[in-house]
Amino acid sequence: MKLVIITGTSAGLGQSFFRQMSSRCDGLMSISRRILPEQKVLAKENGKELFLLQRDFTDVENLSSIEEDLRQLVGHVPIHEVVFINNAGVVTPLGKITEGTTDEIVESVHVNMVAPILLTRGLLNAFDLSTTRIKVVHISTGAALRVIEGWSMYCATKAGMKMFYDVLTHEYKEFPNVTFHQVNPGVMDTPMQEKIREAKNVHFPQWERYSRLKEEDQLPHPDEVAARIIDELVL
Ligand SMILES: NC(=O)c1ccc[n+]([C@@H]2O[C@H](COP(=O)([O-])OP(=O)(O)OC[C@H]3O[C@@H](n4cnc5c(N)ncnc54)[C@H](OP(=O)(O)O)[C@@H]3O)[C@@H](O)[C@H]2O)c1
The lowest-confidence range among 65-74, 152-161, 165-174 is 65-74
pLDDT band at 88 (very low <50, low <70, confident <90, very high): very high
pLDDT at 204 over 70: yes
C-alpha 172 – ligand 1 centre gap (Å): 27
Residue ranges and CATH numbers for the domains of the chain are: 2-186+222-232 (3.40.50.720)
- From 190, 214, 225, the mutation candidate for ligand 1 (largest count of ligand atoms within 8 A of CB) is 190
DSSP class of residue 101 equals -
- Per-residue pLDDT for 165 more than 90? yes
Q: Rounded to an integer, what distance in angstroms lies between the CA atom of residue 22 and that of residue 127?
A: 22
Residue to mutate (ligand 1; options 87, 94, 184, 209; most atoms within 8 A of CB): 87
β-partners of residue 7 are 31
| Residue 79 to residue 231: CA distance in whole angstroms | 22
Per the annotation, the verdict on 154 as an active-site residue is: yes
> What 3-state DSSP class applies to 234?
coil
Query: How far, in Å, CA of 153 to CA of 159, rounded?
Result: 10
pLDDT given at position 46: 65
Supply the residue whose CA is at minimum distance from atom 36 of ligand 1.
Answer: 8
Identified catalytic residue from 154, 165, 172, 210: 154
Q: Of ligand 1's atoms, which has the minimum distance to the CA of residue 13?
A: 16
Q: What is the pLDDT of residue 44?
A: 66
Find the range with the poorest average confidence among 74-83, 143-152, 175-184. Answer: 74-83
The pLDDT mean for the chain works out to: 95
Question: So what's the pLDDT on residue 43?
Answer: 60
What is the pLDDT at residue 49? 86
Q: What is the DSSP string of 121-184?
A: HHHHHHS-TTTSEEEEEEE--GGGTS--TT-HHHHHHHHHHHHHHHHHHHHTTT-TTEEEEEE-
- Inform me whether the pLDDT recorded for 59 exceeds 80: yes
Q: Which atom of ligand 1 is nearest to the CA of 107?
A: 31
Ligand 1 atom 48 nearest Cα:
187
pLDDT at 74: 87
Share of the chain above pLDDT 90, in %: 86
Enumerate residues lining ligand 1, CB below 6 A: 8, 10-14, 32-34, 56-58, 87-90, 111, 139, 141, 185, 187-188, 190-193, 222
Over residues 11-57, the pLDDT tens digits come to 999 999 999 998 899 999 999 999 999 887 876 676 678 899 999 99
> What is the rounded average pLDDT of the residues 94-115?
98
Q: What is the DSSP letter of 98?
A: G
Q: Higher model confidence: residue 202 or residue 75?
A: 202
- Dump strand ranges (E) for the chain: 2-7, 27-32, 49-54, 81-86, 133-139, 178-183
